[in-house]
Structure 1
């Protein structure tokens, strides 16, 4: 069954606070959700921080090249 809510989190060079942002989403209760994170080619360790968080509700798309605002 698909989740009721999709949370989409774009990120680029947000290593300093992306873990806190993800934790905030994962702390939500009483709602069935998925968290989709798209990294736009970060160079500061953002990808490693996101990849280290293991939760089945997270889908991570780590781009290797910065493509700018879409």
Structure 2
């Protein structure tokens, strides 16, 4: 897992300054575009890895937060 973490870290840290500034933008359109660009950088950094979806049980988001009714 250290290799994956390093790849993600490098993708984020080597992103252009303008991209990091745009992430903090108060303009939602600019922030969304910057987020998409950052995601593209991270996905590109992970291309050498096999990404496998792990099936999980959905969490209980009921009104009682998963606790038995009383």
Instruction: Say which one has the larger Rg.
Output: 2
Give the TM-score taking structure 1 as reference length: 0.29
Query: Which structure has more helix as a fraction of its residues?
Result: 2
Which is bigger in relative contact order (C-alpha 8 A, separation at least 6)?
1
Query: Which structure has more strand as a fraction of its residues?
Result: 1
